[in-house]
């Protein structure tokens, strides 16, 4: 029987379970370190990692989507245990030598690549350290795992804390659907949950209300915020940055940026900064024009809480439609049906719901099948709710291994249904869904039989966003929009005139958005290059990237989870780097016939199926026939290339 290994969503005694597994794992490591062949060294570790991963991954997932103090307390106790275990493996000199000995063995191309990457991983994880340095390195990694969770917890609790009940009179500018989302017995309750907060900033005519919500949002988890100061993340951030620097120096790097980039496709931090500054140079003239247009339209001195509001109004005037004109055409079930149909057309798989109990009634269980049977499973958790970490992400539960099929969690924080209406998605939310399913398909569609390099495993961080960003491009294709859209009342597909307006507006203020992402990325690299206060680094970066002043209460870095509780430290540039690949790949596939073409199938074969088992850029060049160019990224964003700047 083909096994999907249903996760245990009610784990008990998680600390004791992890302790027992780690003892077992250390014995397996000792045995593997004495091995001479792939079967003796790598396979036992893969098998154990598969078993341990079930527990680690489901615990981490539940802590993020069903946060509770009691479970979190136990979860936090497992973090140093897990960190110490992996530190023990990565610093095990005998195991390192066993991998080094495999280099001269009889290995296939994938095995050779996996061994090479494993050896580099050992070296970046301190295998060459000894004595006091080794002890210090292990202590740093343990402390960082605890701090990362603390950062995430503070962000979540601070976000949940701010709520405000307002009258309908204070919500002029809202339509019935937006009001229905926040209706309570006491009136209307706004909060800092993403769909609710975005509506306030986009639609509320009441400028004072927008200002209050904005200040609450950008000052979350700080010492200047409206919420409880006990959630202040600044001290956590400072310690994380200091420990990263210390860890990098122990390994012989000048700074953490060098250590991070050593495991990526890019060659140096200088190359990253040059890449980002080049995007800034091309984007800034157009961004200035976009902001000047917005200022002229608004007729007031713009403050940060005015930007979304007047941007939406200008967009409505310029293109002849509002975001809310689109949402009735995108009810949740139709959007998902259209997404699944698009995936089927792209990759010759089908997706069907499974009737299975899960950790929350909102979660859908989806089986992915092809002509040979089951490919894998996705647990889809779509709606925003209290106790759920903000943002959107894909996390793996298990990789492909033997008859065990890959399983992924896809998590979003999108609009939810109301009493008398289905969830109606904004187009940005649909793009988010496509993005996260791109990650999930990368995980599920692998044909690599080695778990350490199957799917997203082993893929360099600056390549991991390629499949997700590639998927986003298909959202705007007419045939795809027809699959996604069906008016929740009339059943009508999105009319041609609205579709044309949607496409025309695709790159509205795209240069401003490009500057903003470059600002995040430059700040991230430079804050891991320099021993300066991270807000001082941001202020310096903003001299070249920001066209509107920030307010003194802005502490958005205090909830920047990608950097302080995710895996993007000194790697946030990966979004833009991978977007170059994604744009280049999409335009190539489009030029060769698009969905259903040999080129689309080549993307499946050379990128998704291969995962991290071969050199990623070599695989991209094999698919594409040549190296990518930043011109594709600028073209996709409608940004003019300034040759003489």
The catalytic residues are 436
346, two tokens: 């792209």
Sequence-ordered list of residues with C-beta below 8 angstroms from that of 463, at least 6 positions apart, any chain: 265, 574, 578, 581, 616, 617, 620
- DSSP structure string for 439-484: HHHHHHS---S-GGGSTTTT--TTTTTHHHHHHHHGGGSHHHHHHH
Q: How many other C-beta atoms are found inside a 10 Å radius of the C-beta of residue 384?
A: 18
540, two tokens: 């310096």
CA dist., res. 173 & res. 150, Å (int): 38
User: What's the burial of 562, exposed, middle or buried (CB within 10 Å: 0-12/13-18/19+)?
Assistant: middle
Sequence-ordered list of residues with C-beta below 8 angstroms from that of 52, at least 6 positions apart, any chain: 21, 22, 25
CA dist., res. 261 & res. 461, Å (int): 9
CA dist., res. 331 & res. 420, Å (int): 13
Q: How many other C-beta atoms are found inside a 10 Å radius of the C-beta of residue 640?
A: 12
CA-to-CA dists, residue 577 to 525, 583, 630, 632, angstroms: 13, 10, 9, 12
Strand segments (E) across 59-176 = 163-166
Quick check: 99 and 119 in contact, CB under 8 A? Answer: yes
**Coil, strand or helix at 412:** strand
Quick check: 229 and 557 in contact, CB under 8 A? Answer: no
CA dist., res. 103 & res. 116, Å (int): 8
Q: Per residue, what are the HEC states of 354-391?
A: ECCCCCCCCCEEEEEEECCEEEEEEEEEEECCCCCCCC
Strands of 163-166's sheet, edge to edge? 163-166, 187-191, 183-184
């Amino acid at each position: 029987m083909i096994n999907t290994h249903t996760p245990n969503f009610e784990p008990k005694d998680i600390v004791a379970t992890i302790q027992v597994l780690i003892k077992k794992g250390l014995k397996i490591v000792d045995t593997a370190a004495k091995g001479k062949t792939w079967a003796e060294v790598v396979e036992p570790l893969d098998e154990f990692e598969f078993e341990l991963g079930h527990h680690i991954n489901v615990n981490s997932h539940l802590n993020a989507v069903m946060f509770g103090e009691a479970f979190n307390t136990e979860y936090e106790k497992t973090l140093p245990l897990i960190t110490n275990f992996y530190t023990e493996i990565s610093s095990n000199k005998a195991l390192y030598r066993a991998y080094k000995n495999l280099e001269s063995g009889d290995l296939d191309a994938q095995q050779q690549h996996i061994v090479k990457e494993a050896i580099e991983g050992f070296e970046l994880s301190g295998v060459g350290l000894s004595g006091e340095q080794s002890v210090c390195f292990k202590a740093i990694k343990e402390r960082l795992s605890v701090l990362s969770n603390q950062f995430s917890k503070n962000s979540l609790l601070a976000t949940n804390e701010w709520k405000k009940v307002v009258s309908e009179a204070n919500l002029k500018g809202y339509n019935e659907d937006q009001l229905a989302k926040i209706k309570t017995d006491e009136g209307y309750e706004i909060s800092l949950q993403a769909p609710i907060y975005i509506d306030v900033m986009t639609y509320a005519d009441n400028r004072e209300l927008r200002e209050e919500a904005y200040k609450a949002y950008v000052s979350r988890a700080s010492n200047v915020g409206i919420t409880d100061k006990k959630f202040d993340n600044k001290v956590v951030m400072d310690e994380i940055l200091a420990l990263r620097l210390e860890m990098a120096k122990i390994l012989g790097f000048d700074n953490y940026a060098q250590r991070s980039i050593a495991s990526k496709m890019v060659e140096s931090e200088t190359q990253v900064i040059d890449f980002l500054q080049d995007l800034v140079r091309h984007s800034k003239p157009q961004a200035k024009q976009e902001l000047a247009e917005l200022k002229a339209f608004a007729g007031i001195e713009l403050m940060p809480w005015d930007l979304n509001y007047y941007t939406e109004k200008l967009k409505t005037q310029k293109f002849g439609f509002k975001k809310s004109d689109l949402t009735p055409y995108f009810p949740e079930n139709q959007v998902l049906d259209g997404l699944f149909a698009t995936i089927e057309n792209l990759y010759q798989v089908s997706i069907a719901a499974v009737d299975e109990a899960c950790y929350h009634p909102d979660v859908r269980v989806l089986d992915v099948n092809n002509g040979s049977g089951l490919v894998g499973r996705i647990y889809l958790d779509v709606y925003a709710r209290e106790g759920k970490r903000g943002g959107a992400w894909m996390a793996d539960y298990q990789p492909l291994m033997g008859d065990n099929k890959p399983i992924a969690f896809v998590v979003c924080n999108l609009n939810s249904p109301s009493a008398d209406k289905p969830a109606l998605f904004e187009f940005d939310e649909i793009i988010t869904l496509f993005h996260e399913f791109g990650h999930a398909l990368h995980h599920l569609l692998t044909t690599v039989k080695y778990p350490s390099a199957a799917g997203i495993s082993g893929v360099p961080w600056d390549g991991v966003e390629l499949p997700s960003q590639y998927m986003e491009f298909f959202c705007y294709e007419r045939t795809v929009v027809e699959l996604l859209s069906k008016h929740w009342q009339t059943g009508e597909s999105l009319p041609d005139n609205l579709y044309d307006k949607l496409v025309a507006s695709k790159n509205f203020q795209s240069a401003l958005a490009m500057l903003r992402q470059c600002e995040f990325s430059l700040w991230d690299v430079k804050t891991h290059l320099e021993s300066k206060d991270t807000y001082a680094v941001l202020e310096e970066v903003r001299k070249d990237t920001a066209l509107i002043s920030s307010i003194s209460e802005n502490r958005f870095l205090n909830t920047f989870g990608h950097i302080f509780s995710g895996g993007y430290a000194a790697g946030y540039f990966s979004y833009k780097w991978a977007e170059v690949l994604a744009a280049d790949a999409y335009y190539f596939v489009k030029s060769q016939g698009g969905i259903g073409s040999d080129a689309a199938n080549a993307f499946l074969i050379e990128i998704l199926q291969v995962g991290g088992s071969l050199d990623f850029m070599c695989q991209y060049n094999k698919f594409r026939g040549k190296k990518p160019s930043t011109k594709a990224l600028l073209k996709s964003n409608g940004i003019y290339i300034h040759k003489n700047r």
